[in-house]
Amino acid sequence: MKIICLNIWGGRAGKEKLLAFFEAHRDTADVFCLQEVWADRYESFEGVLAGGRPIDHSLIMTHAFQEIGEALPEHEAYFAPSFYESYGLCMFVRKGIPVTETGDVFVHKERGHVPEGDIGLHARNLQYVTLERGGARLTVMNFHGLWNGKGKGDCEERLEQSDRIIEFARSRAEPFILCGDFNLTPDTESLRKFENAGLRNLIKEYGITSTRTSLYDKPLGYADYAFVSAGIEVQDFKVLPDEVSDHAPLSIAIA
């Protein structure tokens, strides 16, 4: 099974380029875990700050969820909004793979939270899909960690966010994969908590030095991570070279 994880950056790198990426990988990737996905316009938020920049709908794929779905006709779509109903996380799972459970849990703030000021301070959720493979269950978790406008270091809210994710992960009886844009640097306690919980950090294990593309205009090259629990046999892990976002896609192949 192959999983691709990508923060699509709202499609700001170009719709045609992004959709071509999905078309190129749809025959080989079984699961796509995506962050910063729009499913509709937020007209009332035009010009409002989101993550430090004003929302400009003309630069965003405001129907990325639907358009990516059209590029992946052999995959089933699952959407987990984190801000109102039209922005957040989504997963695409190849049709024919039995899905026994889907859902999301909020790990920072609560569902429906509307922040004051910059709406990039919205609540954060963890999306999950549980699959059947060879008579056994496997859960894939998709995540986009909180942004606070103060870098990617530790803070009380990020430490608590990690604890909530670990609490949910420990409630699962089956092996799991956790991936996404954590908005954390490798040296943070918020990230080490996952390693201390017994998860393999594939970014560290495979010696990855950056998960960003040339479209990222800051020096720090880390944000995206993939962790696996006991019971997951990793065959290959790599950062793909495609520049379809300011984040690079992660590719995870498991037995």
CATH (domain of 11): 3.60.10.10
Is 120:163 a contact under the CB 8 Å cutoff?
no
The kind and range of the H/E element at 93 are strand 87-94
CA distance 252 to 30: 10
What does the angle CA 74 – CA 76 – CA 80 come to, to the nearest 5 degrees? Answer: 150
The CB-side HSE value for 121 (13 A sphere, CA atoms) comes to: 12
Range of the domain at 138: 2-254
- Which residue from 204, 143, 129, 205 is spatially nearest to 174, judged by alpha carbons? 129
Tokens standing for residue 249: 């896609």
Tokens standing for residue 89: 């996380």
Tokens standing for residue 92: 């695409």
What amino acid is encoded at 132 in this protein? E
pTM over 0.75: yes
Q: What is the pLDDT of residue 86?
A: 97
- Which residue from 231, 161, 148, 222 is spatially nearest to 193, judged by alpha carbons? 161
Is 4:247 a contact under the CB 8 Å cutoff?
no
- Which residue from 145, 138, 136, 159 is spatially nearest to 229, judged by alpha carbons? 138
Query: Could you list the pLDDT tens digit for every one of the 255 residues in the chain?
Result: 999 999 999 999 999 999 999 999 999 999 999 999 999 999 999 999 999 999 999 999 999 999 999 999 999 999 999 999 999 999 999 999 999 999 999 999 999 999 999 999 999 999 999 999 989 999 999 999 999 999 999 999 999 999 999 999 999 999 999 999 999 999 999 999 999 999 999 999 999 999 999 999 887 789 999 999 999 999 999 999 999 999 999 999 999
- Dihedral angle sign, alpha carbons of residues 185, 189, 190, 191: positive
DSSP of 156-206, one letter per residue?
Answer: HHHHHHHHHHHHHHHT-SS-EEEEEE----TT-HHHHHHHHTT-EEHHHHT
Number of domains making up the chain:
1
